[in-house]
Amino acid sequence: MYASLVHDFMANGSLEMWLHPKEDGINQSRNLNLLQRLHVAIDLSSAMHYLHGLCETPIIHCDLKPSNILLDRYMIAHVEYGIGSKATTYGDVYSFGIILFEIFTGRRPTDEVFIDGLNLHNFFRSKLPRRVMQLLDPKLIATGEIRAEEIVEDNKSDDGQNEIQENNVNIENLKLQGSNVQKCVVLVLKIELACSAELPGDRLNMSDVTRKLNIIIEAFVHARTH
């Protein structure tokens, strides 16, 4: 007697295929635009919020990574379940932060840039907000979705001395600030920092992440249409 496991067909494959296409001439042309990347981030955070906070018993994913995130015909992201040990919601939040990093930079966390003790978290912190162009996926810049003139310098030091804590991720007032694309992108990347904090207790929970990302995407759409 045989048993079958049936899944919905995911016409657009995995997030891994889109972020890191193989140089085979077939998948190499795959590219997610900025709005699609934001939607994938929200789909993923909403799924993790459901697993962590809305199930009768919290469910820990344990193996959150681009190859376990599938995209359907409408480019909606679906999370494939993983099994592991010694799991905590904090671990899932950290993994989500790393995936945010991959979504918006196009880099893998094992990229050769992270050498000589420079970890991903400190690398990000040293670039925000003034050198955000050095973080973003070159495909977004090449297509003109992000322009250099949109990245406005401020007077704050970017030497990494100030930790970006949740209360500094000023998202709730985004609409009141005259939001633009640059602000939205920087705030998304600051969420990555808040999710990948070294101490588990300093990380955001997925409920707050989902709420913040929804505010950001609403402001982003407003900025693009005005």
Active-site residue set: 63
Rg (CA), the chain: 18
User: Which tokens hold the place of 176?
Assistant: 């009141």
Distance CA 207, CA 211 (A): 6
Phi, psi of 49 (to 5 degrees): -60, -40
Report the C-alpha gap between 221 and 34 in whole angstroms.
Answer: 11
Nearest to 128 by CA among 103, 101, 96: 101
Strands of the chain, DSSP E: 69-71, 77-79
Are residues 192 and 124 in contact, defined by beta-carbon separation less than 8 angstroms?
yes
Biggest distance spanned by C-alpha atoms of the chain: 69
Say whether the peptide bond before residue 129 is cis (omega within 30 degrees of 0): yes
SS3 59: coil
Q: Which residue reads 């699609």 in tokens?
A: 36
